[in-house]
């Protein structure tokens, strides 16, 4: 009788211990949530290295197994940071593609319980000429990313959100000398046309590329004279120039594209349209 009682007590203790262990494992799952893939450019020139940022969120501190591939090729991880509100952020570099087309970016994040995958398409083009950019940024593609990556001069990157509406996509800031104490790696887009880019669409497709080139009032480094000199060296002399009550409007031509530069005391901006 005593032996049976002792046996029952031991079995009860073992059962309780096992049950408690099981409950703990059920109560602390390792969740992986929301992978955000952010390329440095929405379009990538085929001759340049490709930089891609990854951000994801989790509720645990253990390390994960993370892979990022472009067209099936693995990238080199350059940095990793983790913050509670900003998630886990990694920056990868890939060799130049040396070919054009739409290539799949695939990110896989694994822990010992779960796996989360995310895919995006990156368009690789010959160059950043006006004609190439115009014909490559259809609304469906330019709206497929929620952000791009601005590389920091120290290490890592910061996300720049893409503002997307039914007709507009504002997708990046491209400057020869990026502001904010030069924290960011400078990057350019369409030659000689630095600034913040907005794409304007209608039912027929892309109608305008608007570029806020610089504000003399807000940016001490911006020189309108240098801007005009760069545009002239790239696209030739202007074909017309008219003074307005608040500044002037200068027209340049590049093949079938018209560049309308508007200068006011507060802003120099360019609108590209197709003839």
pLDDT digits (tens, 9 = 90+) for 138-157: 999 999 999 999 999 889 99
Q: Are residues 38 and 143 in the same domain?
A: yes
First-last CA distance in the chain: 101
pLDDT band at 184 (very low <50, low <70, confident <90, very high): confident
Q: Are residues 269 and 234 in the same domain?
A: yes
Lookup result for tokens 């009550």? 245
Where residue 221 sits, what CATH number does that domain have?
3.40.1000
Q: Are residues 232 and 114 in the same domain?
A: no
Specify if 10 maps to a domain.
no
Q: Are residues 170 and 126 in the same domain?
A: no
Q: Are residues 217 and 184 in the same domain?
A: yes
3-state SS class at 116? strand
Range of the domain at 57: 30-161
Q: What's the token pair of residue 210?
A: 């608007």
Q: Which has the closest alpha carbon to 135: 190, 196, 211, 195?
A: 190
Q: Are residues 209 and 126 in the same domain?
A: no
* pLDDT over 70 (residue 5): no
Q: Residues with Cβ < 8 Å from 26, sequence gap 6 or more?
A: none
* pLDDT over 90 (residue 192): yes
C-alpha span between 160 and 139 (Å, rounded)? 19
Q: Are residues 224 and 157 in the same domain?
A: no
Specify if 248 maps to a domain.
yes
The pTM is what? 0.85
* pLDDT over 50 (residue 25): no
Q: What's the number of domains the chain is made of?
A: 2
Whole-number mean pLDDT of the chain? 89
Specify if 36 maps to a domain.
yes
pLDDT tens, residue by residue, 206-255: 999 999 998 877 677 788 999 999 999 999 999 999 998 889 999 999 99
pLDDT at position 179 = 55
| Helical (H) or strand (E) element with 93 | strand 87-94
pLDDT at position 216 = 76
pLDDT at position 14 = 47
Residue 188 backbone dihedrals phi, psi, to 5 degrees? -120, 165
Q: Are residues 53 and 132 in the same domain?
A: yes
Q: What's the token pair of residue 213?
A: 């080139």
What's the per-residue H, E or C state across 184-221? ECCCCCCCCCCEEEEEEEECCEEEEEEEEEECCCCCCC
pLDDT tens, residue by residue, 62-117: 999 999 999 999 999 999 999 878 899 999 999 999 999 999 999 999 999 999 99
pLDDT at position 26 = 53
Q: Which has the closest alpha carbon to 32: 119, 108, 91, 142?
A: 108
Last residue within a domain, chosen from 146, 161, 176: 161
pLDDT at position 22 = 45
Residue scoring higher pLDDT (21 or 37) = 37
pLDDT at position 123 = 98
Q: Are residues 88 and 106 in the same domain?
A: yes
Query: What secondary structure letter does DSSP report for 267?
Result: -
Last residue within a domain, chosen from 117, 145, 161: 161
Specify if 237 maps to a domain.
yes
Question: CA separation (Å) from 31 to 3, 43, 67?
Answer: 46, 32, 17
Specify if 195 maps to a domain.
yes
| Contact between residue 81 and residue 89 where contact means Cβ atoms under 8 Å apart | yes
Last residue within a domain, chosen from 161, 180, 204: 161
pLDDT at position 100 = 97
């Amino acid at each position: 009788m005593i032996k049976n009682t002792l046996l029952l007590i031991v079995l009860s203790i073992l059962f309780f211990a096992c049950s408690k262990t099981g409950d703990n494992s059920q109560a602390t799952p390792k969740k992986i949530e929301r992978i955000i893939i952010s390329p440095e450019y929405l379009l990538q020139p085929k001759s340049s290295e490709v930089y891609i940022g990854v951000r994801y969120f989790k509720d645990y501190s253990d390390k994960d197994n993370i892979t990022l591939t472009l067209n099936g090729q693995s990238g080199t991880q350059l940095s990793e940071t983790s913050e509670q509100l900003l998630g886990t952020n990694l920056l990868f570099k890939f060799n130049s593609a040396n070919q054009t087309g739409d290539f799949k970016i695939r990110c896989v994040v694994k822990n010992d319980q779960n796996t989360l995958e995310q895919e995006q398409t990156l368009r690789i083009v010959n160059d950043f000429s006006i004609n190439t950019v115009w014909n490559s940024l259809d609304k469906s593609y330019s709206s497929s990313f929620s952000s791009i990556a601005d590389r920091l001069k120290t290490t890592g990157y910061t996300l720049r959100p893409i503002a997307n509406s039914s007709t507009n996509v504002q997708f990046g800031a491209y400057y020869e000398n990026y502001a904010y104490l030069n924290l960011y790696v400078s990057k350019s887009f369409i030659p000689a046309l630095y600034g913040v880019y907005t794409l304007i669409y209608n039912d027929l497709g892309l109608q305008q590329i608007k570029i806020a080139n610089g504000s003399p009032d807000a940016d001490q480094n911006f020189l309108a004279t240098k801007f005009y000199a760069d545009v002239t060296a790239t696209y030739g002399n202007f074909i017309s120039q008219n003074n307005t009550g608040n500044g002037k409007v200068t027209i340049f031509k590049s093949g079938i594209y018209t560049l309308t530069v508007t200068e006011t005391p507060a802003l120099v901006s360019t609108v590209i349209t197709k003839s």
